[in-house]
Structure 1
Amino acid sequence: MRRIVSFILLGIGVFAVALGLLLRFYAYPQLAKIPLDNESTSVAQGSGITALVIRTVNGAPQPEIRHNMTLTSTTYVTGDLTQPEVKEDGDVAVYVEATKTTDDATGIVVDASVRSLCIDRHTNEAVAPCEGQYIETEQGKKVTADRNTVQQPGLSFKFPFETEQKDYQFYDLSVRKPVTARFDGEETIQGLDTYRFVMTVPPTKIGDKEVPGSLIGKDDQPSVNTELYYQVKKTVWVEPSTGIVVVGQQEGKQELVAEDQSPGEGTVVFDGTLRFTDETINDNVTKAEDNKSKLSLLTSWPVAMWIIGGILIVVGLVMLNGSQRGGRYRSEVPTRRQHADAAR
């Protein structure tokens, strides 16, 4: 009976270890992938902002710097299933991001952009080849790239599954390159444990602009050639299991710098902070908690199975070894008949 029990324990232990390996190294990679048909909306708002707006006066565009504005920035991300890189059960997704920032008081669009890129569904980094990648920050001026070149390198939209407490490279659309997302500590958001990352861009030239002299205090000149400088501090709070950005905040500044000026001496055309709204944060917390629960079944359960399976295997081997020793001992003990035979 003891041998039977030991074999049962060995069988259950081996099965538990094998099932744990299957869940962790086969099922988990299948689940820890961003969806092909993603569709999400995030909203950020800020008040007391200085920004450049373009009004239409007598049918002509008229730039104007306004202060103490309340802005709303809406970002819509969707998966593009029409691109050649997208295949069912494949490892590449194509996402399109459309962002529009508007003045709450007038509805005037302050800034807008659209971009498309190919992303590795496991690492969340941009990849090539990518046929339809592009950036459009000015309407009708789409900037494309060779399909074999990664146009927007680094992470976009979210962080990797199982985000670590280390620095990452995250793409910044304004400077057109990845910047370092520096790990800055842990923080609890609505009961959810998150990692905080900070991205900083010092004053950096991002373009040349010809503007009316009156816009930058040079009323005697009808137009002036200037350089547009950009600086920002972005802070994101990331749920590490899923890589979902739960909260995002951006403190930015832009200025027009004339030829006789240095950065910091120019005309400020944007200065303010935008942060995810409470509704967006609540939605992100719910999404992160749901996805975290699904993933934990494939990360914590395998460990428990390996531990329990290992214990059962050890107990089974001990019992089996003990039963074999007992059998040998009994075979070596003389029976009464053996004693009688020996007496004769």
Structure 2
Amino acid sequence: MPGLGRTVRLGLEWTSIRGRGHGSALQFETGPCQRSNFPGGPVRRALSLTLIGLGVFCIAGGLLLRFYAYPALAKIPQDPNTVSVAQGSGVTALVYVPQGSSARPEIRQNLNLTSKTYVTGDLRAPESKKNGDVVTWIEASEVKDDASNLTVNGSVRALCLDRFTGEAVAPCTNGYLEKEKGVKITNEGSPKTPQFPGYNFKLPFNTEKGTYKWYDSTLGAPVDARFDGEEQINGVDVYRFRQSVPVSKVSSRDVPGSLIGKPETPTVNAGLYYEVDRTLWIEPVTGAMIKLRQWSKQELRTSEQGPGQGTTVFDGTMELNADSVAKNVNTAKENSSKLWLLTGLPVILWIVGGVALLIGILLLATGRRRSRHSF
């Protein structure tokens, strides 16, 4: 039988095994040992270093997006241009009927009301610096009777907001409140205190299931808005918050006696008492308001009258209409998708980076250990 010659690869060493003839003893000839410093060769080493580099890159990229890009980009706009519409039916309200050059107050019942609120930015305000952290917004609202187009109430206000938290801040050079045309109330006496403290338009980014101070414009003070549950509106997950104000005296004013059942007296001083039950639906990623509903009641009372004995000047429920809710949903979807790149993507990068880094380190460590024990 012809001689047999075969070469067998054991690890990184090459050994020749030769045998001659039948029954002859096998003779082993071992060639020179070509031992590498890294089992698996340069490919394995390159793979481990690539994985380590990828892991470091992903982790660093996630940190950059979450803690640098997110605070820089998750801000409310400097120049919004929005219109929201709320409606109510079966409402009792005080309307102002034109009478020559003035208007006569008159209480009417079973009204259909429409409230329109316009929000724009004041880019000329000193606080509204380009790419700054404070913005000045102007809100103008008006409530009218649908049938007669008579005005129920209206107001204009300007306030400064923290662009990241959404809270009102001070000082606010151009801040004011105007409930009567031409009469602006400013905060000159307390320039370091916000004129409209708390949240006014939205809750903070990444809203939590807690309690927030929401400013009540009739009361003139912030009131707790407490988390009340979760819902879905038009496919968007929202948090529901409830805010209640018990019967509270908000002002005193001189009113025509005929308005409160005293026609024999031209003018009567009466207190205005107010209560409200307000529900806000908030998209938690952006903190944006999706829907708003509020029932409120206002009553004029003389000093001799107790609760329920006065004259009701407003009693009804107002709620954002379907079109306004749909616009809010679309805007929230668009903005939350953008913010996901700054909040959700970093988590994925951290996971991928951590796994890649771990595998790379294990490959490097096991390769070196095998190198020390190989022959």
Taking structure 1 as the reference length, the TM-score comes to 0.94
Structure 1 SS opposite 2:209: coil
Q: How far does residue 27 in structure 1 lie from its aligned partner after superposition? A: 1.1
Q: How far does residue 95 in structure 1 lie from its aligned partner after superposition? A: 0.4
CA distance in 2: counterparts of 1:165 and 1:184, whole angstroms? 8
Q: Is 2:185 aligned against 1:143?
A: yes
Q: How far does residue 164 in structure 1 lie from its aligned partner after superposition? A: 0.3
Residue matched to 1:282: 326
Q: Residues 110-149 of structure 1, C-alpha deviation per residue, up to 9 Å, x if partnerless?
A: 1000111110000101111211111111222211013322
Q: Is 2:163 aligned against 1:121?
A: yes
Give the AA of the match of 2:172: C
Residue matched to 2:146: 104
Residue segments in structure 2 that go unaligned for 5+ positions in a row: 1-42
CA distance in 2: counterparts of 1:123 and 1:265, whole angstroms? 43
Structure 2 SS opposite 1:297: helix
Q: Is 2:87 aligned against 1:45?
A: yes
Give the AA of the match of 2:240: R
Residue segments in structure 1 that go unaligned for 5+ positions in a row: 334-344
CA distance in 1: counterparts of 2:67 and 2:296, whole angstroms? 42
Quick check: 281-290 or 321-330, which moved more?
A: 321-330
Taking structure 2 as the reference length, the TM-score comes to 0.86
CA distance in 1: counterparts of 2:183 and 2:307, whole angstroms? 27
Q: Is 2:68 aligned against 1:26?
A: yes
Structure 1 SS opposite 2:334: helix
CA distance in 2: counterparts of 1:298 and 1:59, whole angstroms? 57
Q: Is 2:54 aligned against 1:12?
A: yes
Structure 2 SS opposite 1:323: helix
Q: Residues 1-37 of structure 1, C-alpha deviation per residue, up to 9 Å, x if partnerless?
A: 2111100110011101110111111111122100111
Moved over 4 A (4+): none
Residue matched to 2:134: 92
CA distance in 2: counterparts of 1:311 and 1:149, whole angstroms? 50
CA distance in 1: counterparts of 2:54 and 2:353, whole angstroms? 7
Identical-residue share of aligned pairs (%): 51
Q: How far does residue 59 in structure 1 lie from its aligned partner after superposition? A: 4.3
CA distance in 1: counterparts of 2:228 and 2:324, whole angstroms? 22
1:188-267 alignment, distance < 5 Å: 188-267=232-311
Question: How many residues were matched structurally?
Answer: 331
CA distance in 1: counterparts of 2:331 and 2:99, whole angstroms? 45
Q: Supply the RMSD in Å over aligned alpha carbons.
A: 1.1
Q: How far does residue 72 in structure 1 lie from its aligned partner after superposition? A: 0.3
1:150-161 alignment, distance < 5 Å: 150-161=194-205
